[in-house]
Chains A and B, each alone.
Chain A
Amino acid sequence: MNAFLRKFAQYLPGVVVVCAMVVSSAGACAQDQVFAGTGMGNQRIRLAAADVKPVGNDPQTPQLKTVFDATLFSDLSNSGVLDMVSKSMNPLATPGSPAEIQLAQWSAAPANAAMVALGALLVSNGRITVNGWVLDAKNAGSPQILGKQYTDNASQDNARAIAHRFADDIIARLTGINGIAETKIFFVSARTGAKEIWMMDYDGQNQHIVTHMGSISLSPRISPDSSRLVFSSIGKEGWTIRMYSMELGRMVGFPAGVAGGSNFSPAWAADGSRIAFSSSRTGQSEIWIADASGGGAHKITSFKNNSSPVWNPKTNAQIAWVSGRTGEPQIYTMDADGANVQQMTDGGYAVSPSWSPNGQYLAFAWNRKYDPKAAGAPGAQDIYIMDIASKRWLQLTHDAGTNDFPSWSPDGRHLVFQREIGHRVQLWTMLADGTEQHQLTEKGANSMPNWSWK
């Protein structure tokens, strides 16, 4: 707690200055704007998660119950919108249904829960079934907020998947925004000796390889409907943008991505209809747009050294990207036809924009004091978020490694990013206000994360 306060105090003066400079109709401080937009400032709901009650004698039950309880608690804690009652404060009873619970025990100290999640878990005939409920602990007369049954073949992976589904249903019911417990993160890993595209569950579980290109593959981007993955890969003909069908389990064609020059950093429009990317087929790296089928490719910039486009997911009519047209790379926005170019960052070295799901913010990597002539290790590069309308920004990471490639979660409350310390690079997540940073990967070198859209 002290460490957090000290960190907060470190950047508080900057925030206060930013607050003072903002003029807006709401009179809100920039930090409040950031918090309101990301839902971070809202009061957290205090929820107690009871361990599920095991039902029946199947020998798999204890193990699956352990996995379910741990996964559910972790998902609810990760959501960023709940104040979880720590398990040691739960009353000793293990209610298996609303009829079995004494709500007064849960709303009283030390639990002081506003909501209680509980359930029963049965394994029978190779199937796992969970009945889950959420109850309003202060409304004994009519407490039920949610009641649902989940069933699948009995396995540890499915116990985890059911916990993810229950957690997402709880978050959706309590906050109106879908939870992220079933989302995936795609990333680059070099742990097999070559950089390939990998994927994992949002919590770091179930890491597995997707591509087997045997060369260098970068910049994975999953489609909005999770059916196709685009990425860039170097082969005999140079860098090409390749497309992999998650449904078919094999590569599919994307003709626009193999037209000569270096083609890389692809990005999906939110309706899945178009892909923006960087291509040097005319001699210098410009931003191009093509249909997702690979036709209709056309160029929308003309000033060289352009990369890393990302679409406004709310409008599909605007693109943010990186351009070195004035020297060091800066973040710009433009309309999808190339008009109305606006410079967003005002110096330093700014790269890797990611557009928030609500269309309001850019997250990106920025080294504001970039000086290539300074001796010593590469300078501090941190993750920032910027309110696009006002260009006010908030620094999220401080004094810890070289940070890059932030990617928003679909609930707009989390970011995944890469952090390099020495020559070791791993993936981290944090809430969109910079708190709750934790490391997601351990093995090998892992980079360039991309959070799925659902």
Chain B
Amino acid sequence: MSSKLRAFTCLVVLAAAVGFVGCKKKTTTPMNSTAPYSGAAPTAQLTATPTSITAGDQVVLSWRTTDATSISIDGIGAVPSSGVKTVTPTESTSYHLVARGDGGSADATARVTVAAPPGATAVPNDMNSTNLTEEEAFKANVQDIFFDYDSYDVRETDQSSLSKSAAYLAQHPNLKVLIGGYCDERGSDEYNLTLGQSRAESVKKALVAAGIAGDRLRVVSYGKEKPFCTESTEECWQQNRRAGFSLDR
């Protein structure tokens, strides 16, 4: 369809929709009707992938709605009834979608947690402050584990960090954790998915051994698909060889 024809068609559909709503207002509805609107109720779904990033990373929002004529996402504006959009939030954000139609309205929310990039001071000095969000407190107390080249063994020097993380998780038994396994840029996409898997499994095993229930710990491998930095340097490669913790919602 040419773009002109498409625009015209949209206008016609919009006019018809507006006209239809206009007509509806003139119709009297019985006082005891349980359905003040006619037409199917809209549905709305919104997902953010991933739900946990480091500042600077991108997030893909994906949404689908049915029976809606007006769809918008807070902070973005009007959007089509279904679609995909890449966003780069710099702080933790709840994306809220509202879909309105003749049958009523529906909404959906997707939350993205944004951690400061490595090296930045992400933790306020007062760690006991009740103003810390659950995510901030979690990040401060459950620290990522870094690995040697092509290795998935937890270093001796990281044992105490893991103990602290286990203690924190024991104190907050309602928290569920997602352990992501990451690799540096070298090597193959497919093989690095197995290496990331082994890193995350290694850390999960250590936490289970420290008394945390296995069903609180979910493991996913990102291989080299979600790097924390992109320079081809020793420092950056080390940053990327990690098991990263996030709250699993």
Hey, which bits of chain A sit against chain B, CB under 8 A?
A: 193-195, 212, 214-216, 218-219, 234-236, 238-239, 261-262, 264-265, 278, 280, 283-285, 304-308, 322, 324, 327-329, 349, 351-352, 365, 372-373, 375, 377-379, 404-405, 423, 447-448
Contacts and interface: CB of A to CB of B under 8 A. Distances in A.
Contact of B197 (A218, A280, A377, A404): A280
Interface stretch (B34-42, B66-74, B168-176, B180-188): B180-188
The range of chain B's interface size is 20 to 34
Contacts of A308: 188, 190-191
B220 A238 contact: yes
Nearest to A404: B188
B186 A215 contact: no
Contacts of A283: 201
Interface string B176-215: 0000000001111111011101100100000000000000
Contact of B149 (A304, A372, A423): A372
Contacts of A373: 149
Interface centre among A214, A239, A352 (most CB of B within 10 A): A214
B91 interface: no
B60 A194 contact: yes
B49 A328 contact: no
Contacts of B194: 278, 280, 285, 304-307, 324
Given A262-B221, A351-B188, A284 B197 contact: yes
A310 to B, nearest CB: 11
12 contacts: A214-B49, A234-B220, A262-B197, A262-B220, A264-B190, A305-B191, A305-B194, A307-B190, A322-B188, A329-B191, A372-B186, A379-B186
| 4 nearest A-B residue pairs (beta carbon) | A372-B149, A285-B194, A214-B62, A351-B188
B225 interface: yes
B86 interface: yes
Contacts of A328: 150
A219 B192 CA distance: 13
Interface in B67-98: 84, 86
A305 to B, nearest CB: 5
A321 to B, nearest CB: 10
A212 B85 CA distance: 12
Nearest to B198: A305
B186 A324 contact: no
Given A262-B193, A305-B195, A307-B190, A214 B60 contact: yes
A226 B112 CA distance: 38
B60 A264 contact: no
Contacts of A219: 189-190
Contacts of B222: 234
A239 B230 CA distance: 23
Contacts of A265: 190, 193
B109 interface: no
B143 interface: no
Contacts of A324: 150, 191, 194-195
Given A264-B190, A322-B190, A423-B230, 12 more contacts: A193-B58, A214-B49, A218-B189, A239-B221, A262-B193, A284-B201, A285-B194, A285-B198, A324-B195, A372-B186, A405-B188, A423-B232
Contacts of A327: 150
A265 B197 CA distance: 14
B175 to A, nearest CB: 18
Nearest to A329: B191
B181 to A, nearest CB: 9
